[in-house]
Amino acid sequence: MSIEGQVRIPSGCAITSVFSKSGENISGRLVVDSIATMHERSNGLGGGFAGYGIYPQYKDLYAFHIFYDTLAARQACEAFIDRHFDVVNLSKIPVRKHPNIIDEPLIWRYFLTPLPTKLKDSQLDESEFTKRCVIRINDSIEGAYVFSSGKNMGVFKAVGYPEDVGDFYRLEDYEGYCWTAHGRYPTNTPGWWGGAHPFALLGYSIVHNGEISSYDANRRFIEMYGYRCNLQTDTEVITYIVDFLHRRRGLTLAEVASVIAAPFWTTIATKPAEEREKLTYLRNTFASLLITGPFSILLGFDGGIMALNDRLKLRSMVVGERGDRVYIASEECAIRVMEPDLEKLWAPRGGEPVIVRLNAGAQGR
Amino acid sequence: MLIQAKDLPFRELNRQINAAGEQSVTLQGVMGQRFIASGLKGKDVEINGIPGNALGAYLDGAHITVRGNAQDATGDTMNEGSIRIYGRSGDATGYAMRGGSIYVQGDSGYRAGIHMKAYSAKYPVLVIGGAAGSFLGEYLAGGVIIVLGIGHEAEGKAPVGYFTGTGMYGGKIFLRSAHVPHDLPPQVDVREAAAQDREEAYAHVAQYCAYFGGDPHQLMEHRLLVLTPSEESSYKQLYCAQ
């Protein structure tokens, strides 16, 4: 049996999300019901969720969610973790047996903080230290895969239809200010657990509907900066691009959007001088990070969410709003099932980012 | 006849529509079911809720009314009949339609009317009351698209996105707009609507008003542009026998 990376996967997929700007707690159940309306966009080979604000009791600690293929992988990984982190709490992630979710790996969760001495010796900041450890584990420990590594957030994913995955992980037991969800439709290979979305690194998580034609160009560029695309799924590289541009290079999210979904040169030519210069600079400087091909993505980050379409808008996306809640999904039905009476419903243009953040002083920060 | 669509998978919903003994069928609680009324003829279907993608695909004479918004690819390859939407429609509305009519009260998404085509008595009509997204009439081969831009008159630009008429080689697009889109491709000609054009457009605008209200005469008292493929540089020579 081939796994991803040995075989190419073009994908269909569904994405959805809910966000409370005032930081209200939203049950994970809501977004499970939302993604279920788009059942036909998935084929049972991957589903997943990211929740933000779900671990308030450990909000200053990194929460690692890890898949292990074998006990040996767990032992090797835990030895590595013990050398680099202070583990405050560890446990299996609670799951409920589900007839449609089979062949699960060992699924563990760790709340941890970098060991002060190790961190000091590394001369890195905390987030860069942690990121390097995540990549080290995923790249070098066979059978261990850190699929979530942010603070006060967590990714839950599996092979199956997303509504079944939500049941499996008991998402009704979690509450957060933001949820994103994904239903997968890989058509050429068996999906595998690590290949389900979201793809996450530190506080960033990506769910993606589409196919990246520029994947290899993007991968070659980003691997020069210490990232390792060892899952060889196109979505993975988006997560690393966002981490590189936003966290490390300090670009704003709108600028990140102008890099990965850059306007056409003909469109840039019509902009006022200052904007034209900026767009030209971004396109030239980060030419290898332009993502081509059809995509719609939802980027979850600490305190916010960004939605983005490819510049030609070859995938669908709608946004609904009511009160402090913002809903973004591939299809309107996925929004209406969460909130039938919207104050506003609209479709963002291709390449136009929709950025939503927690209000100042909101809980969950 | 009333059908409760809530929680029905799309195949079962279509089975019930097809099996309905009466001509008139009303659906309640629709929530994203795809392919509703696909290939249907001889029935009137009213939809309450949110129909899923490819509503009325291959429609063959049935009449569909949507009390709300429609999603993507409405009327995909429809052959005959009508779809009217009391709301907005998503991307690729009227995708490759070859006959019948679609009326959207509000805005429409990207690629409205992509690759519509006409032949002999088959002449598809797509009317968008609000604004259209980018790539309006992409690869248009036949039929007519009308964008009324109602509520967008004061925006200082045509009620369309970028790249209108890209690859267009047949058919006609009416824009009720004081402004010419700034990025029309070289193979698309734009002109003021002549009396004959206005007469053609009026019939469809009157139908729009009959559905959704409004005064067609008043709507027509506005600059009206006509987009057609240019004879010299058209792709026609590539695709059509001379």
Cα separations in angstroms, A179 against A29, A55, A70, B151: 10, 13, 30, 35
Best of A40, A333, A341, A344 to substitute, by most chain B Cβ atoms within 10 angstroms, is: A333
DSSP percent split of chain A into helix, strand, coil, nearest 5:
35, 30, 40
Q: Does B52 touch chain A (CB under 8 A)?
A: yes
Tokens describing residue A245: 């541009």
Mean pLDDT of B201-206: 98
Q: Where are the domains of chain A?
A: 14-211+294-357
pLDDT digits (tens, 9 = 90+) for A54-84: 999 999 999 999 999 999 999 999 999 999 9
pLDDT for the residue numbered B240: 60
Q: B117 falls in which pLDDT band (50, 70, 90)?
A: very high
- In chain B, the percentage of residues whose pLDDT exceeds 90 is 93
Q: A273: buried, middle or exposed (CB in 10 Å: 19+, 13-18, 0-12)?
A: exposed
**What fold, for B88-239?**
Pectate Lyase C-like (2.160.20)
Any residues with CB less than 8 A from the CB of A210 and at least 6 apart, and which?
A11, A13, A293, A294, A295, A296, A297, A310, A314, A315
Question: Taking residues A270-280, what's their average pLDDT?
Answer: 96
Query: Exposure string (b/e) for A25-60, b if CB count within 10 Å is 16 or more?
Result: ebbbbbbbbbbbbbbbbbbbbbbbbbbbbbbeebee
B130, B107 Cβ separation under 8 angstroms: yes
Mean pLDDT for the stretch of residues B63-88: 98
Span A120-140, pLDDT tens digits: 999 999 999 999 999 999 999
- Which DSSP state fits A47? E
Instruction: Categorize the per-residue pLDDT at A10 as very low, low, confident or very high, splitting at 50, 70 and 90.
Output: very low
Annotated domain spans of chain B? 88-239
Cα A310 from Cα A317, distance rounded (Å): 11
Q: Are A73 and A142 in contact (CB under 8 A)?
A: yes
Kindly tell me if the per-residue pLDDT of A8 is higher than 70. Answer: no
Say what the pLDDT of residue A5 is: 46
**What pLDDT, on the 0 to 100 scale, is given for residue B232?**
72
Whether ipTM tops 0.90, in short, is yes
CATH code reported for the domain at A14-211+294-357 = 3.60.20.10
Measured between alpha carbons, how far is A277 from A258 in angstroms, rounded to an integer? 12
Pairwise CB contact (< 8 Å): B31 & A270: no
- With an 8 Å Cβ cutoff, are B50 and A332 in contact? yes
B199 touches chain A (CB under 8 A): no
pLDDT of residue A31: 98
Q: For chain A, what is the mean pLDDT?
A: 93
d(CA A262, CA A280): 9
Catalytic residues of A: 13
Q: Give the tokens for residue B201.
A: 């457009």
Provide, rounded to the nearest whole percent, the portion of chain B with pLDDT above 70: 96
Q: Which of B91, B95, B104, B136 to mutate to test the interface with A (most CBs of A within 10 A)?
A: B91
- What would the two tokens of residue B205 be? 């605008």
B80 CA: distance to closest CA in chain A (Å): 26
pLDDT of residue A185: 87
Q: Could you say which of B52, B134, B162 has the minimum Cβ distance to residue A333?
A: B52
Residue A45: what pLDDT?
Answer: 87
Closest Cβ–Cβ partner in B32, B69, B134 for A38? B32
Cβ-defined contact of A313 to B162 (cutoff 8 Å): no
Q: Residues A66, A72, A77, CA angle at the centre, nearest 5°?
A: 40
Residues of A in contact with B72 (CB under 8 A): 316, 331
Query: pTM of whole model > 0.90?
Result: yes
pLDDT in tens, A323-337: 999 999 999 999 999
Q: Minimal CA–CA distance to A77: which of A169, A149, A165, A158?
A: A149
